[in-house]
Amino acid sequence: MDLTERKLKILQAIISDFIQTAEPVGSRTLSKKYELEISPATIRNEMADLEDMGYLTHPHTSAGRVPSDKAYRLYVNNLMDKYELDDSAKKRIRAELKANVQELENTIRHASKLLSEITNLTSFATVEDMYDVRLFLEGMTHIFAHPEFNSVERAKNFLEMVDNRKDLTATIAKRNDGITITIGDENSSEIMEGSSIITATYHVDGQLIGKLGVIGPTRMRYGEITSVIDFMTRNLDRAFRVALDTVDDHDEDL
């Protein structure tokens, strides 16, 4: 069975709606909210096909469907719209990074805290050298604002993951350079089921220093969050270079 253009359009609408509402999506909702130009009956048939293909799942307590990890992977790779941060967000990030450039670890810790505040997710940052990797976590309670983590089991799994700092640090350190997104069961640990990790590497003066990223539910705003992380990592290097130039200028004045 092929993923036709119509199926892709329906799948994209389902993923977008579920990311916004956290509610299973039905054919009637799609017909009313999105300009699909097909009948609810046709939408239902296409949704059934998408479920058979492994892109949707069917919660027992609802007539609607929710995206699977496979659907999110397709969305991230092929369907996600490019998100451009607004000027106010860019201005805030630049200003806070510039104002808090100090000793490296404190600066990275502040960057992680800022990322958590902007995304409303648990954020982390690593500072790496040839001998050690240090991990900083921020906003660990933010994850519980998302309904996926309302269950005792999911909350327990998350707390167990962040409490096992050594394994989490090793997992993050081994991730690829650049922006990397792992979704649900793509993560190695079983307790990461239902969660996604987004990371990006950052540099200071051209040298790879570590990674900055977030942990959240698979139902996250991938386009927006990826753009925030990308912008922050690119501006970390810029903030440090500006600070170094300022120090050099002061040295010359002396």
149-204 pLDDT, tens digit per residue, is: 888 888 888 888 888 888 889 889 889 889 999 999 898 777 777 899 999 999 87
CATH code of the domain in which 162 resides = 3.30.450.40
Edge-to-edge strands of the sheet including 122-128?
Answer: 133-138, 122-128, 207-217, 195-204, 180-183
- The verdict on 142 and 194 lying in the same domain is yes
- The verdict on 96 and 118 lying in the same domain is yes
Residues in Cβ contact with 21 at an 8 Å cutoff, skipping those fewer than 6 apart: none
Closest CA to 132 of 104, 173, 171: 173
Of 57, 79, 101, the one marking the end of a domain is 79
- The verdict on 39 and 143 lying in the same domain is no
For residue 32, pLDDT over 70 is answered with yes
- The verdict on 185 and 61 lying in the same domain is no
- The verdict on 46 and 98 lying in the same domain is no
- The verdict on 216 and 98 lying in the same domain is yes
Rounded mean pLDDT of 24-48? 88
Q: How confident is the model at residue 254 (pLDDT cuts 50, 70, 90)?
A: very low
What total number of domains does the chain contain? Answer: 2
Cα-Cα-Cα-Cα dihedral of 53, 54, 58, 59, to 10°?
Answer: 170
How confident is the model over 83-113, as pLDDT tens digits? 889 999 999 999 888 887 777 888 899 999 9
43 close to 186: Cβ distance less than 8 angstroms: no
Range of the domain at 19: 5-79
For residue 247, pLDDT over 50 is answered with no
Please give the Cα distance from 236 to 238 (Å, whole number).
5
For residue 30, pLDDT over 60 is answered with yes
- The verdict on 201 and 95 lying in the same domain is yes
For residue 248, pLDDT over 60 is answered with no
Of 79, 98, 128, the one marking the end of a domain is 79
Of 46, 79, 112, the one marking the end of a domain is 79
* pTM attached to this predicted model: 0.89
What pLDDT is recorded for position 242?
66
